[in-house]
């Protein structure tokens, strides 16, 4: 474990493991931290990191898309990388690929929210699942709603977020607002010619069809839907997730 320092002096927590082609992992949130500790792709060099303001990185702004794209460029370094982004991290990875097309050799967007945001019934579906675990810690319950197997959801949510860090709500609010205000994203996506894989769980509260907009907008994209899986495919179906990623990167 180590830290990288950005051009504006922010220290970003990083961890590098494995050997082989470089894969940079971009965690979800915004305002949360890396939870890829259980992902196993030993034939690749995996770069984990906490985004600025989150987890083990310096808790400082600015919390803007441009700044986060620049931070991701620091993590990737000068050579082209495979970039795997999860949820909000998929949105950030896509923004990065648009800004730095030569820096990305392959793009994997996991549990993406698409270009149009969550479905109309998303909040109702979250509330329904939260009602199933009224006794649980509120944060753990909030994470657990994203896991398909309800019997394992709370335990998986606890394991997923160990160690625990305080979420950065200021960061989350700022980045969500900026992302929501973007216009004409489909035409910008049309310029992203890098091969792209969309991986989605069939039981995600944001169903696979939320990524239809990406599938249509990206020139070289394909989608794989994993049955019985929610928002965290590498946790809920590690073998299935690793298989589709390896096949895409082969």
Distance from the first to the final alpha carbon of the chain? 28
Residue 103 resides in a domain: yes
Q: 128 lies in a domain?
A: no
Q: What's the pLDDT score for residue 1?
A: 65
Asked if the structure places residue 93 within a domain, the reply is yes
CB neighbourhood size of 48 (10 A): 22
Q: Is 151 exposed, middle or buried (0-12, 13-18, 19+ CB in 10 A)?
A: exposed
- Rounded average pLDDT over 2-13: 96
How does the average pLDDT of the chain come out, rounded?
Answer: 95
The verdict on residue 126 lying in a domain is: no
pTM for the predicted model, two decimal places: 0.96
pLDDT (0 to 100) of residue 11: 98
Q: Read off the pLDDT band of 147 (50, 70, 90).
A: very high
Q: What average pLDDT does the segment 131-142 reach?
A: 88
Segment 68-101, tens digit of pLDDT: 999 999 999 999 999 999 999 999 999 999 999 9
Is there a domain that residue 139 lies in?
Answer: no
CA distances from 29 to 50, 65, 134, 156, 164 (A): 11, 13, 23, 17, 14
Average pLDDT over residues 33-48: 96
The count of structural domains within the chain is: 1
Average pLDDT value for residue range 36-52: 96
- Residue 146 domain flag: no
Task: For residue 134, tell me if it sits in a domain.
Answer: no
Residue 92 sits in a domain whose CATH number is 3.40.50.1820
* Inside any domain, residue 26: yes
- Give the domain range for residue 197: 2-116+163-249
Local confidence band at 183 (pLDDT 50, 70, 90 cut-offs): confident
What pLDDT is recorded for position 136? 84
Q: How confident is the model at residue 132 (pLDDT cuts 50, 70, 90)?
A: confident
Say whether pLDDT at 48 is over 90. yes
Q: Which of 149, 160, 237 has its CA nearest to residue 199?
A: 237
Length of the chain: 250
SS3 labels along the chain: CEEEECCCCCEEEEEEECCCCEEEEECCCCCCCCCCCCCCCCCCEEEEECCCCCCCCCCCCCCCHHHHHHHHHHHHCCCCEEEEEECHHHHHHHHHHHHCHHHEEEEEEECCCCCCCCCCCHHHHHHHHHCCCCCCCHHHHHHHCCCCCCCCHHHHHHHHCCCCCCCCHHHHHHHHHHHHHCCCHHHHHCCCCCCEEEEEECCCCCCHHHHHHHHHHCCCEEEEEECCCCCCHHHHCHHHHHHHHHHHHC
What residues does 104 pair with on adjacent strands? 81
């Amino acid at each position: 474990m180590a830290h990288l320092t950005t051009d504006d002096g922010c220290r970003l927590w990083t961890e590098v493991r494995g050997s082989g082609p470089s894969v940079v992992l971009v965690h979800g949130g915004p305002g949360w931290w890396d939870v890829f500790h259980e992902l196993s792709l030993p034939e690749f060099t995996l770069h984990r990191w906490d985004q600025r303001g989150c987890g083990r990185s310096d808790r400082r702004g600015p919390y803007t898309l441009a700044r986060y794209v620049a931070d991701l460029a620091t993590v990737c370094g000068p050579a082209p990388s495979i970039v795997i982004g999860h949820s909000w991290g998929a949105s950030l990875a896509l923004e990065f690929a648009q800004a730095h097309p030569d820096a990305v050799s392959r793009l994997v967007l996991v549990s993406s929210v698409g270009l149009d945001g969550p479905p109309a019934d998303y909040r109702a579906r979250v509330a329904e699942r939260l009602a199933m675990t009224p006794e649980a810690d509120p944060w753990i319950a909030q994470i657990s709603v994203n896991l398909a197997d309800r019997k394992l959801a709370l335990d998986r949510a606890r394991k997923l977020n160990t160690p625990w860090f305080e979420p950065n709500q200021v960061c989350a609010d700022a980045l969500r607002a900026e992302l929501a205000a973007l216009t004409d994203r489909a035409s910008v996506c049309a310029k992203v010619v890098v091969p792209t894989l969309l991986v989605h769980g069939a039981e995600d509260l944001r169903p696979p069809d939320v990524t239809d907009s990406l599938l249509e907008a990206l020139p070289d994209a394909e989608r794989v839907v994993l049955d019985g899986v929610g928002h965290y495919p590498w946790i809920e179906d590690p073998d299935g997730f690793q298989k589709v990623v390896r096949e895409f990167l082969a």
